[in-house]
Structure 1
Amino acid sequence: MDDDQRLLEATAALLESAGHTVTCAGDGELALRLARADRIDIVLTDYMMPVMDGLQLARAIGLDPVLSAIPVVLVSAVATPLVGSPIRASLRKPFTGASLLELIARLALRRS
């Protein structure tokens, strides 16, 4: 999830080309609704998002008994996860496609 439409589309295309199914949201509130409605395996979120920022989204996911096992990855140029936050991993912008795919593979293995 990212509010930068170009980055959102490029990230989605990269993940889809690697065989992943992608659901996109332009704000944190929509992302939370989609996570509750669909079977989501991993959430990628920017920190600076409209309506609900990435940390608020991660906290909401962590507090929801149905969603709490979903790893949340913070993708940001400015923020890093705070100690004790529900963020499971982070990726600093700008990032390479290979680093994103490696992180997704690592998190997917932990969930299996």
Structure 2
Amino acid sequence: MEHIIDLDALAARLQSVMGEWRRWATVSLLTWRDEAEPWPQTIKEVRSSVQVPESMGFTLQKHGSDDMFETVVWTGGWADVGFLIDGEVYSFSPTFSDAGGAYGAVVKDVEDFLA
């Protein structure tokens, strides 16, 4: 996969807003998938155990609710996003060309979910 998005840069930027999201939701640790690992790759919570990050993801669950949010951002320039809201599933895949675009898309998606 072509590496378009610097997932470490994205993770650093997201850490600054994740604290605010915790006011409304339980936010998971970031998870990572290692492109250098043989198939099937395992999902890891410790970044230092990943040689070549291929994806980074996290989940949120609204406080006092079953509503869930999940995203996986791929270094190739897209994200897989899913919401579970009032028993309905919504999924989509935004695309972007750099870490700034990925950051903007992820923050928008989380804010839409939390609204």
Higher helix proportion (structure 1 or 2): 1
Q: Same fold (TM over 0.5)?
A: no
Give the TM-score normalised by the residue count of structure 1.
0.39
More strand, by proportion: 2
Q: Which structure has the bigger radius of gyration?
A: 2
Relative contact order higher in (CA < 8 Å, ≥ 6 apart): 2
